Amino acid sequence: MADAAVSGTKTVLTTHDGKPLKVSLAKALRREKLRALMLIAPLLLFILLSFIMPIADMLFRSVENGIVAETLPKTVVALKNWDPASGEAPGEDVFAALHDDMKVAVAEKTHTRLGSRLNYDQPGISSLFRKSGRRIGRMKEGDYKQQFLDIDDGWGSVENWTTIKRLSPTITDSYFLASVDAERGADGIERKPENERIYILLFVRTILLSMAITVSCILLGYPIAYLLANLPVRTSNLLMILVLLPFWTSLLVRTSAWKVLLQQQGVINDVLVWIGLIDDAGRLVMINNMTGTIIAMTHILLPFMILPLFSVMKTISPSYVRAAKSMGATDWTTFWRIYFPNTVPGIGAGSILVFILAIGYYITPELVGGTSGVFISNRIAYHISSSLNWGLAAALGTILLVLVLALYWVYDRIVGIDNVKLG
């Protein structure tokens, strides 16, 4: 129990051991907060290692460019006095510095990595470093410029040296510029040639197809969820097993099955020909295009729409509908004015799930999308696993993340994230 002690004219509550009650309560509160922190520490550590750090690393890689300054330190310093506007290759001092740097780089076997990095911005420059690396040890003292030019005329190209100088800083915007089909030229930032612009198209296609898949999941999932929510429990549980059944099958198997079904000589076209809707010469092209991507991904993501809708619909009391009908409302008015508004939170939750999952898919679009149905995620996967251009992949991933967050913000402003629930 707390005791009372008089201090001057003010009464101070104390504990049985004489400590002020306010101090003891503050200490107990700190102890409870520390205990709570220790309980959630494993989760915080997991989020830090699996979510925060990868995103931070992606952001860093999208602007990091230390390889030029680390591999050619003397050359970078010598290039500061060279003006690309002169229209001529650098002088002997730069080539002498390049010779010294190349000897070290060849010994450490880093010149090829540098060439590959520069090749992203200036195609063909990697061959200069490979050729020079093989012959750097046979160079004689003095007149290095001519010896490099004898190895390859590309060392006399102003464009190549401009690229090296432009990429000398340890922080670069070249990856982000490439991600929006732009580049930094002699006159500043400019658009790439029209036949090289692919990324903005892929971003737009990814957003539009993801929205189309989300809408198709709503149109197909809503009546199914309504049926499940209003059937007897025994029948509803049996049908719910059929909804969850695709989760028991590999994603790759389901996608491969759609390749068989959608091809021109596939099951769907055969059935349409058999029932006379189309003739054999007019078989539908539903694979290796946007149509194939939408159909396959709608099938794969449909359960993620049905489950939130079903959970919300089960919480809607049937008395709402009966009350509306008892007051003279038609079936349509009852549904649209009473039932549907109560299911909006489920639609919101399902739409967020489906859209976020769709925007990051790359296996299904790769298999059924062809050239017109692939997403930006397919290009990110290509740069990570094939071209090894991790900086460009990181920049593309960062832009995609910003787009998703922007769309999420718009959704919150229009619908309200507080109106989203899973049941």
pLDDT higher than threshold 70 for residue 13: no
pTM value?
0.81
Q: Write down the pLDDT at residue 348.
A: 87
Q: Write down the pLDDT at residue 14.
A: 67
* Average pLDDT taken over every residue of the chain: 86
Q: Write down the pLDDT at residue 370.
A: 84
Q: Write down the pLDDT at residue 399.
A: 92
Q: Do 68 and 164 contact (CB within 8 A), yes or no?
A: yes
Where in the chain are the domains? Answer: 3-61, 67-172, 199-419
Q: Which of 85, 208, 93, 84 is nearest to 145 (CA)?
A: 93
Q: Write down the pLDDT at residue 201.
A: 93
Q: What is the mean pLDDT of residues 17-32?
A: 77
| Position 420 confidence tier, pLDDT thresholds 50, 70, 90 | low
Domain spanning 199-419, CATH architecture? Orthogonal Bundle (1.10)
The distance of Cα 158 from the centroid of its chain, to the nearest Å, equals 37
pLDDT higher than threshold 70 for residue 378: yes
Tens of pLDDT along 55-105? Answer: 888 889 888 888 899 999 999 999 988 888 888 888 899 999 999 999 999
- Residue with token string 């509306």: 324
SS3 assignment, position 102: helix
Q: Write down the pLDDT at residue 252.
A: 87
Q: Write down the pLDDT at residue 419.
A: 62
With a pLDDT cut of 90, the percent of the chain lying above it is: 24
- Residues 6 or more apart in contact with residue 83 via CB below 8 angstroms: none
Q: What is the DSSP letter of 139?
A: P
- In whole angstroms, give the CA distance from residue 322 to residue 287: 47
